[in-house]
Amino acid sequence: MRKIIIAIDGYSACGKSTTALEVARVLNYRYIDSGAMYRAVTLYFLDKHVALTNPREVSRALQEIKVSFVVNSKGISEVFLNGINVEKEIRKMRISENVSQVSTIREVRLAMVEQQRRMGKDCGVVMDGRDIGTVVFPQAELKIFLTADMLVRAFRRQKELLQHDDLVDIDTIIENLQQRDSIDSNRAESPLRKADDAIGIDTTHITIDEQVDEVVRLALAKMILQPKPKA
């Protein structure tokens, strides 16, 4: 069967990462969490006190950053920043509170998109994010756009944060999600939007298994039906 690129975009906490990870496992594809890359950059910028409004300083800092993924013993891909596992650290609220601002910076986007394209060049990839179907892989064979009601998203995120021992009240989470939705959708560079050829899935009332099944079904249809590219 032909290997394809699956792009999963959408708002925070709609189940993108969980769906993408499981779809990749079922299809034996590589999973790339593009949001984790922006989160790792944010962690570095915060720790090094990089002035976000100074493009020179940003560019210099970007040259010092190496973001990579390593698959752990459970088969789950974890993000490393300059050789250090930062998977836990990047999920904390202090990163969520700053990541969307960092993600508006042109230099940051150029560097991340270049790396993401390199990671996907051999196909057989599921990548989730905000601009995967529109900017990173506009040629992706399958594009999914996930949405869900705000309250459902907030409770899902709260549960996820608790798993990382981060107890955050629901109002703070809603505020953060709304703020990020707004920055992500209104930024000048690669704003979050549904690609014209993306398939929308509202995850408010469906389970993770149902989401995964639906995406796998759509992917298999593409893998079987898609004609091979001309040599």
Binding site for ligand CDP (CB under 6 A): 12-13, 16-17, 34-35, 38-39, 99-100, 103, 129-132, 180, 184
Determine phi and psi for 105, rounding to 5 degrees: -75, 125
What are the backbone angles phi and psi of residue 13, rounded to the nearest 5°? Answer: 60, 30
Q: Which long-range contacts (CB under 8 A, 24 or more apart) does 90-93 make?
A: 90/36, 90/39, 90/40, 90/42, 90/43, 91/39, 91/160, 91/161, 91/164, 91/166, 92/161, 92/164, 92/166, 93/161, 93/166, 93/168, 93/172, 93/176
Cβ-proximal residue to ligand CDP, closest one? 35
Query: Least distance in Å: CB of 6 to ligand CDP?
Result: 14
C-alpha dihedral sign at 57, 70, 28, 212: negative
Could you tell me where the beta strands, DSSP code E, fall in the chain? 5-10, 30-33, 67-71, 77-81, 84-85, 125-129, 142-147, 199-202
Task: Compare residues 46 and 220 and give the one whose CB is closer to ligand CDP.
Answer: 46
State the DSSP code for 134. I
Q: CB of residue 177 vs ligand CDP: minimum separation in angstroms?
A: 8
Nearer to ligand CDP, 132 or 218 (CB): 132
Question: Could you tell me the smallest distance in angstroms from the CB atom of residue 57 to ligand CDP?
Answer: 20
Of residues 189 and 220, the one with the C-beta less far from ligand CDP:
189
Q: How far is the CB of 197 from ligand CDP (least distance, A)?
A: 18
* Residue closer to ligand CDP (CB basis): 93 or 223: 93
| Least distance CB 74 / ligand CDP (angstroms) | 19
> Which residue, 47 or 221, has its beta carbon nearer to ligand CDP?
47
Q: What is the dihedral of CA 63, 64, 69, 74, to 10 degrees?
A: -170
The dihedral through the CA atoms of 102, 105, 107, 108 has a sign that is positive
**CB-nearer residue toward ligand CDP: 99 or 218:** 99
Task: Give least dist CB 224 to ligand CDP, A.
Answer: 28
Residue number, 27 or 99, with CB nearest to ligand CDP: 99
Task: Please report how close the Cβ of residue 20 comes to ligand CDP at its closest, in angstroms.
Answer: 10
